[in-house]
Chains A and B, each alone.
Chain A
C-alpha cells in the first residue's frame, strides 16, 4: 500500500496513538473542548477540528495540523480534558504535535514569537541550570527584534528587587548539559 493511501496503521493519528495512547476516533465532536478553550478564538484550527482532521487520516490534513498556529497557541490549561466526556487527553496530543512539528521543521511562521520564547527559556536553563529572567528577555528580544517591549516596566522591576543581574547557577552544570545533549539536542 502506498504511503499516501489512507491506512489505519499509518498517518498522524496512528503516530499520536503510538506516542500518547490517545485514540482520536473516540472523539464524537461534541465541541466542549473548543467551547471551553480560552484561546480557541485565536486559533486557526479549534481543538475539536484538530480531532476531526486526525480522524480523516488524510495526509493533507495531517500536514495542516503540523503547520498550524493552534498547536503552539495551546496553553496546556487542561480545561479541554477536564470537560471531555471521553477523557481524550488533548493537551498530551498537543505536546506530541508540537514536538513533531519542531523536529520536522514545520513550525508555523505565525508562532515564531512563541517558539522564540521557548528557545530563549531553554537556552537559559541549558547554560545556567535555572531560568535567568534577564537573560531570557535579552535572548528573546534578539530573536524577535521586539527590542522595546517591557522597557517601561524594567525600572520598576529592578526597584522592587525582581530582576537579578547575575544569574544563579546550578553547580553540576555538566549534568545539565548532558541532559540537554541526550534529549532535545539529539534530534
Chain B
C-alpha cells in the first residue's frame, strides 16, 4: 500500500531521526511512502504570526501538489506541519471565496480533498492489527506519552483526540508492551518555536514537563513532534539549568519505540542522533 508523505523541513535536518524511524517502521509494516513532489515548507509558526494569506498559501501549495499527483491520503509526522496543513484545509473549506483567492495566489487548482493523517492516525488505520504478531522485543518500560499542543488542538479543526487527556499514543504504547503513566503535562506547551528566540522560556516550560514525567516514574518520554523532541532533548542544558539538577530521561519518537519493539536496529531508527543518550536500547 502506498501513502503520500510530507516530511517537512525539520525531518530533513535537525529531526532527521524522526524521518528515519517513520520510514523504517513503514517499511517493516509494508507501507510505502511517496513524497509529495517538489514540496515546500508549510510556513510553520512564522507564517501565521506574520501574514494570514501567506500562512494559508504555503500549505495550500503542498496540498495542491499532492492532489495533482493523485494522492488521496498523506502522512504528516511533524505536529506543526500537521496543524498548519489541517488548519489551512479547514479554513479554506469553510470559505469558498478565500479558497479561490488562495488558489490564485499559488497559481494551481486546489480542491481541499486530501485526507491528512498524523503518524498515530496512520498507525491506528493501517498497522494496529499487524503490530501484535510482529513484536519481537516488548518495550517493557514506564513511559510518559507527551502529545504537546499541535497534535490535539484545536479540536474543532483536527477532530483527533481529547484536548487535555488524549489517549491514542498511550494505547499504541501499551500495544507494544510499554506502561504509559498517568501524568499532568501531556498537552502542556514545550515552548515550541521559541527554541532559538526565547531559550529561557523553553527551559522553563520544557523543564516542568520533564520534571513531572521523572517524578511520576517514567523511564522515557515519548513524542510525535520534532519541536517537542528538540526542546526536550537538545535543549536539556536549559532544562537542567531551570531545574537546577541534571536529568537524564531520554526522549523517543513514538515510531522509534514501536520500531525497537519490532526488532529494528537502533541505528536504522536514528537513536544515536539524540543528545540525551538512549542507554537501554
Binding site for B on A (CB under 8 A): 38-39, 42, 72-73, 75-79, 81-82, 89, 91, 95-96, 98-99, 102, 113-114, 116-119, 121-122, 124-125, 129-131, 133, 136-137, 140, 149-150, 152-153, 156-157, 160-164, 168, 170-172, 175-176, 178-180, 182-184, 187
Contacts and interface: CB of A to CB of B under 8 A. Distances in A.
Instruction: Sort A-B residue pairs by CB-CB distance and give the 3 closest, nearest first.
Output: A78-B153, A131-B9, A77-B189
Interface in B9-34: 9-10, 12-16
A178 B107 contact: yes
Contact of A99 (B51, B107, B194): B51
Given A78-B154, A179-B54, A180-B54, A129 B49 contact: no
Contact of B201 (A39, A98, A130): A39
B136 interface: no
A89 B197 CA distance: 25
B197 A140 contact: yes
Interface residues of B, number: 56
Interface in B127-147: none
B154 A113 contact: no
B153 A82 contact: yes
A175 B41 contact: no
Given A140-B197, A179-B57, A82 B191 contact: no
Contacts of B281: none
A103 to B, nearest CB: 9
B54 A78 contact: no
Nearest to A180: B54
Given A102-B50, A114-B194, A150-B196, A125 B45 contact: no
Contacts of A161: 16, 273
B164 interface: yes
